[in-house]
Amino acid sequence: MSGRQEERRPGAGRVRPEGQPEGKRVTATASEHVPGQGPAAGPGGRASWSLLFDYVRPYWRVLLAGGALSLISSLAGLAMPLLAKSVVDAFGRDQSLAGPVLALTAAVVLGAGIGALGRYILERMGEGIVFSARRSLVGRMMRLRVSEVDRLKPGDLLSRVTSDTTLLRAVFTDGIVESVSSLFMLVGAIVMMAIMDGVLLLVTLAVLVVVGGLVGLVMPRIQRASLKAQEAVGEMGAVLDRVLQAFRTVKASGAEEREIASVGAAAREARDRGVAVAWLSSIVGISAWVSAQLAFVAVLGVGGARVASGAMEVSALIAFLLYLFFLVAPVGQLVSGFTQVQGGLAAVKRIREIEDLPAEETAGPVPAPGTAPAGVTFESVGFRYGDDRPMVHHDVSFAVPAGGMTALVGPSGAGKSTVFALLERFYEQQSGTITFDGRDIRHWPLAELRAAVGYVEQDAPVLDGSLRENLLFAAPDVPEEEVRRVLALTRLEDLVARLPEGLDTKVGHRGVLLSGGERQRVAIARALLRRPRLLLLDEATSQLDAVNELRLREVIAEVARETTVLVIAHRLSTVTGADRIVVMEAGRVRAVGTHDELLDGDDLYRELAATQFLLPT
């Protein structure tokens, strides 16, 4: 492996662009927002409630149906105290109990059945909302600009897709609908209590008003605490992802205990944030319970006195107390529902932070790529990774003619990998012009541009799945004979013959079952199957032994007869036969020529060749 600057940041799972300082993140401009660094306003400054209901709008009919069934179930519940009163009255008058008891039983069974159906409808709707939110969020993430994703933590992104979206289901099933149903039941119970005895109602409301005031004070704090708790969970995921991405390095470094402590500290922070939410929620919940008990004691005392004075019947007091018991559940559900909603509002803010980040242009239908090699030209290109970062390219100019092989060489930090990042339009240059096939790359449809360019990264990522799936990742419709041709070209036939299930063998997470050189050749084969007009090779031979390096040099030379090859190399032996070599230093082009011309005319190239024993004897 070379000592070039594009080393991996621990746990980031990404290659740090050349020229971007390690350990620092690109600072957002004034118009951008970095998730987790303060609240982001919704689109057009819309309130969180509006953003929340964006998710339920496609399901509004289902929401109404489920809500209606819940209300009917509540009505059945409101009828029970009156039916219980009729049972007591019939008993006191020596009348038949069959009718009242049957009516009470029917109300219980019917209410429970309708309530269960409504609950099922709402739960199913909740799953649909979660599915839609996750699909939308993942789709947005896949279309984010590379510059945006470089600022984010993978673990936190996973938390937003999993934990935060799950909260949306609870908001609409346990939160909003249950709260509306509970509110209806609460109002209905209060109306019935007012009809039965206004004095006892006033006693009840006096106690409940205290709870309402407490809830109003605590709920905003619950939302803030919920947001911090969800951020803490995301940070814990980011720390754990960091460890898993560098798992072998952690093992080899004997750093298990330190990393366990690091993840444990993040988990402790998430626990503390969750405890804060639980504490506030418990304050509201216990207050609701205490208020209901106090209301029961007060009503029992005042109501008992009224029964003793003859102002009220015993059956009416029993029905009133039953309605009071009915208030306990709705009040508790309202408190729980409000808490769920606060968590949902915090979740939707975190989700919208991602959805509001700048994305690449929407990919349209990709035309069939051309077959002719494409040339590339850099004209006075200037680039930096952020407004507060130093310049990586200073007035860079060079040309890559169509066909043949051109090499980029130079010391670490010269800006070589940034050339590839700009050609793929992962980033946009601040000045100058880059043309592809004689056309400014900013005028190319992004999907069409990338379809014409094959890119092999230095660390040659291989995805979990079969070898065939990895080879066909960029070109899923390639015929079998083309796959066989490319396998022969990249010397992978022996590997396929050795694998137990051939091309259908699973290669493991990040291709762990393959050697470094095999992963690199798989990445090259994957790029070649796309029939690119320009092939970008970033240190293509860095993980190959001398024999396989020689073979791959032959492969590259053969490919260069069909397409344009632009290769970054620190092993000059790889590119001594290149048609032209561009020497870069400190973000500038200092010389262009063949190997022999540069040995004679450029001191830096001669020094690089001398360190690799390539000077003629």
* Residue that has been written with the tokens 């561009």 in this structure: 582
The answer to whether the beta carbons of residues 564 and 375 sit under 8 Å apart is: yes
Q: Side chain identity at 17, as an amino acid letter? A: P
Pick the closest to residue 165 from 132, 199, 123 (CA basis): 132
16 to 11, 145, 205, 396, 476: CA distances (angstroms): 12, 15, 63, 21, 29
Active-site residue among 178, 269, 355, 539? 539
Query: Would you give the distance in Å from CA 607 to the centre of its chain?
Result: 47
Residue-wise DSSP of 67-129: HHHHHHHHHHHHHHHHHHHHHHHHHHTT--SHHHHHHHHHHHHHHHHHHHHHHHHHHHHHHHH
What is the rounded end-to-end Cα distance, in angstroms, of the chain?
27
Cα–Cα distance for residue pair 538/519, rounded to 1 Å: 14
The answer to whether the beta carbons of residues 173 and 62 sit under 8 Å apart is: no
Is 7 an annotated catalytic residue? no
Count of H-run helices and E-run strands, the chain: 20, 10
Return the structure tokens found at 199.
């004095």
Cα–Cα distance for residue pair 229/346, rounded to 1 Å: 9
Expressed in percent and rounded to 5, the helix, strand and coil fractions of the chain are 60, 10, 30
Cα–Cα distance for residue pair 64/409, rounded to 1 Å: 66
Question: Residues 534, 538, 543, 547: is their CA dihedral positive or negative?
Answer: positive
Cα–Cα distance for residue pair 584/381, rounded to 1 Å: 13
Cα–Cα distance for residue pair 14/152, rounded to 1 Å: 11
3-class secondary structure, 412: coil
State the chain's maximal CA–CA distance in angstroms.
124
- Between the CA atoms of 388, 394, 395 and 396, what dihedral angle is there, to the nearest 10 degrees? -120
3-class secondary structure, 592: strand
Query: Would you give the distance in Å from CA 121 to the centre of its chain?
Result: 28
The answer to whether the beta carbons of residues 534 and 566 sit under 8 Å apart is: yes
Report which secondary-structure segment, H or E, holds 556.
helix 546-560
- Residues annotated catalytic, as ranges: 539
